[in-house]
Structure 1
Amino acid sequence: MKKFNFLFSCALSLISLSACGQGTKVKTDNIVKANATEAKFRTGAEQTEVYLPLLKGKRIGMVVNPTSIIGKVTVVDSLIKRGVNIVKIFGPEHGFRGDASAGIHVDDAVDAKTGIKAISLYGKHSTPTTADLADVDIMIFDIQDVGVRFYTYMNTLQHVMEACARDGKEVMIFDRPNPNGYFIDGPILDPKFKSGIGLQPIPIVHGLTLGEYAQMLNGEGWLKDKLKCKITVIKNANYTHDMPYTLPVKPSPNLNTQQSILLYPSTCLFEGIYLNHGRGTQFPFTVLGAPYLKGKYKFSYTPTGIKGMAETPIFKDQVCYGLDLRNYDTSILRKTKQINLLWLI
């Protein structure tokens, strides 16, 4: 596995360089770096002095959710205050406001706070239509990812890039750190099994930020019909992949703690078997259990229906017995740099 990780890491480095080089040739990829003399870490969204001049006089579409923040203010509110002309808001799984349960369809609506039309990009309408983009000059994509293939926001990025490439629109990505970006592990997806929780041949834990993944989509020719999307990546300032990063906002309803985010690459694998992994509790992805494990484990909990998190979890209202990983030392994961399969035994 370590040999595989080394080879894939090298491949990703070459792909990233290839994407930048190919982007220069076809004039699609523009990677905007922060001021090299500045030592403070900043996300792409926080570097307003870098990208605001590029938005002047443009009609902007925003692909955002509650993780899209500058300090404690949503990026939408922050840009409106700065005079940016936002004409549409697009929301991924869980919706623009992040209050929909996993897998629940979110209807299009007018956002009550801003008065801007909000369009859902989850479910059947996963790709913006030509009509959706008719009055948009630049699509800004600003969503926090967690670095795992079956986390659906990276698929939303691909669909947005494909739509914008189709209609000749630019995509600007406000990059954010990958909290699991310090390692690469897991099998590469067989293209025969691509789905809404995995579209491209990458490992379960891929090590990339979404800005880097956007370059990879272009560089590898993975967009529909081999199209190239014009992208501008506003890179993280003073960021390295092995830098510990605690998310300021939960990235989705069921990843509500840093512990759950770091355990997610391992414990989410239990979704494929007859076991509860904490959905229906306030500590998803940090406990594992089932009623049939009574007698084998002492720890118990009872999943219930929780609106906005999991309304119909497996083993709802049944006592489950199993493992409590809420106090698991996640520094072990940083040392081993591997998915933990011991809990499967």
Structure 2
Amino acid sequence: MINFKPFKSTYLCWFLAMNFILISCAIKTNVKDLPIEIPNVYAEKLILKTGSERTHLYLRLLKGKNIAIVGNQTSIIERNIKQEVGSNKQNEIHLVDSLLSLGIKVKKVFAPEHGFRGKHDAGETIKDGFDTKTGLPVISLYGENKKPSADQLKNIDVVIFDIQDVGARFYTYISSLHYVMEACAELEITVILLDRPNPNGHYIDGPVLEFEHKSFVGMHKVPVVYGMTIGEYGQMINGEKWLENGIQCDLTVIPLQGYTHKTEYSLPVKSSPNLPNDKSINLYPSLCFFEGTNVSVGRGTEMQFQIVGNPELGLKPYNFEFTPKPNEGAKYPKHNGEICYGYDLRKEKKLNRIELKWLIDFYESHKNYSKEKQFFTIFFTKLAGTKKLQQQIEQGLLEQEIRKTWENDLEEFKIIRGKYLLYE
């Protein structure tokens, strides 16, 4: 009979040695370097979760403190609730409701453009009030002041910022973030920023803002599309000392899980009344320039930022018509009640850059069909962040020629951007 004891001993040593090697390698290995057949423990880490959903990372920072929240209808936490057929259970809860249910001392809410529930028109003044569900005071950051005052932040220990951004410079939530950080820095109040994916985070494009054209629709020297999450952007505001007098905020970013800048993300709720779906969000950086012209982008329809048109041009050479009428988010739409002729872009392929072709096309048509009225308004320069774009279009430059003038500024921005990235 063969004695197996030596073999058993050898096998045991080999088994222990191999396990030690595997454990050591695992400690040093990034998730991205793991083989395709990933164990469940790593697969779970690849599930996309917003900062607000990662409560274990920030609840301990809130215990026993007075909290203010800067939020709106997008400040939600997805919950894993098994839905039965015919059940009315919601699989999401608002951040405010979640924190209150956990015994966190939420004292007030600050509301940005469009209000706490996201129902107000673009540019509409938001008034202070109270949340009908919780009774919490709601203070407007789009009314008399866009920056919280010292009195409004009295006795607040921590401000939580949780708002969905769409990655375009003229979307005003990043301007609200700037002013909140600035106010908190001045008063030595901590800001906790719950990060969210950027649905336009897959590219960087457009003219970089010139400081002489700084406004609430463009406060920083960044391109129209900057390719950063709002958490990364907040770190850039802080790190580049863009706050007043170069002060810096005590900022904590709760990062996303399972996210890269190439991750496709479909918003669970509308980020604002006139961005109803993924297509409108993707077209928004290209079509928002029309807000500074006499062309409608579909406000007053159910196809906002997916169609463009003007009543003065006639159907030819265009292939689509629509009539704006008052609706939620557009009480007084441009060209209200008039038939507008233009393009339906709902089937346009996903954009990976800013497209100027529609803007140039409408400008050229306007020159031929409507010589009495102005095409551009003064708002166009604020949106573009420079006078050059309007001048280039008026001079008849081709799109590729215009894009060429952006290149150096974009490369300089990418260097700055790289310092603050949290994700690949």
Query: TM-score, structure 1 length as denominator?
Result: 0.86
Q: Deviations over 1:205-236 (max 9, x none)?
A: 01111111111111111001111100010000
Cα displacement (A) at 1:329: 2.0
In the alignment, does 2:240 pair up with 1:220? Answer: yes
Aligned-residue Cα RMSD (Å) equals 1.2
Q: Deviations over 1:291-325 (max 9, x none)?
A: 1121322311000111x311111111000010001
Aligned partner of 2:127: which letter? D
Q: Deviations over 1:218-261 (max 9, x none)?
A: 11110011111000100001110011111111100000111100
Q: Secondary structure at the match of 2:152?
A: helix
Q: Secondary structure at the match of 1:45?
A: helix
1:327 pairs with one of 335, 347, 370: 347
Pick which of 287-296 and 43-52 moved more. Answer: 287-296
| 2:122 and 2:329 in contact (8 A); partners too | yes
1:46 pairs with one of 50, 53, 72: 53
Cα displacement (A) at 1:36: 10
Q: 1: CA distance between counterparts of 2:118 and 2:276?
A: 12
1:273 pairs with one of 263, 288, 293: 293
Cα displacement (A) at 1:55: 0.7
In the alignment, does 2:159 pair up with 1:139? Answer: yes
Shift in CA distance, 227/36, structure 1 to aligned 2, threshold 3 Å: farther
| 1:279 and 1:313 in contact (8 A); partners too | yes
Please say which structure displays the higher CA radius of gyration. Answer: 2
Q: 1: CA distance between counterparts of 2:46 and 2:207?
A: 36
Q: 2: CA distance between counterparts of 1:211 and 1:151?
A: 15
Counterpart in the other structure of 2:318:
297
Moved over 4 A (4+): none
Pick which of 289-298 and 310-319 moved more. Answer: 289-298
Shift in CA distance, 219/36, structure 1 to aligned 2, threshold 3 Å: farther
In the alignment, does 2:225 pair up with 1:205? Answer: yes
Alignment of 1:158-173 (within 5 A): 158-173=178-193
Cα displacement (A) at 1:111: 1.1
Aligned partner of 2:166: which letter? V
| 2:321 and 2:341 in contact (8 A); partners too | yes
| 2:127 and 2:143 in contact (8 A); partners too | no
Cα displacement (A) at 1:37: 7.1
Q: Deviations over 1:97-141 (max 9, x none)?
A: 111111111110111110110000013310000011112100000
| 1:87 and 1:135 in contact (8 A); partners too | no
Counterpart in the other structure of 1:341:
356
Q: 2: CA distance between counterparts of 1:313 and 1:38?
A: 45
Alignment of 1:149-160 (within 5 A): 149-160=169-180
| 1:297 and 1:322 in contact (8 A); partners too | yes
| 1:171 and 1:230 in contact (8 A); partners too | yes
In the alignment, does 2:260 pair up with 1:229? Answer: no
| 1:128 and 1:160 in contact (8 A); partners too | yes
Cα displacement (A) at 1:39: 2.4
> Highest relative contact order (Cα 8 Å, sep 6+), 1 or 2?
1
Counterpart in the other structure of 1:108:
128
Aligned partner of 2:356: which letter? L
Q: Deviations over 1:60-109 (max 9, x none)?
A: 00000000000111111111111111001000000011111111111101
Seq. identity, %: 49
Cα displacement (A) at 1:273: 1.1
Cα displacement (A) at 1:38: 2.0
Q: 1: CA distance between counterparts of 2:289 and 2:251?
A: 33
Query: TM-score, structure 2 length as denominator?
Result: 0.71
Q: 2: CA distance between counterparts of 1:141 and 1:179?
A: 18
| 1:176 and 1:209 in contact (8 A); partners too | yes
Listed as ranges, the gaps of 5+ residues in structure 2 are 1-41, 79-91, 362-424
Q: 2: CA distance between counterparts of 1:326 and 1:338?
A: 17
Counterpart in the other structure of 1:250:
270
Q: 2: CA distance between counterparts of 1:132 and 1:245?
A: 35
| 1:155 and 1:199 in contact (8 A); partners too | yes
Paired residues, number: 305
Aligned partner of 1:340: which letter? E
Cα displacement (A) at 1:272: 1.2
2:65 pairs with one of 35, 49, 58: 58
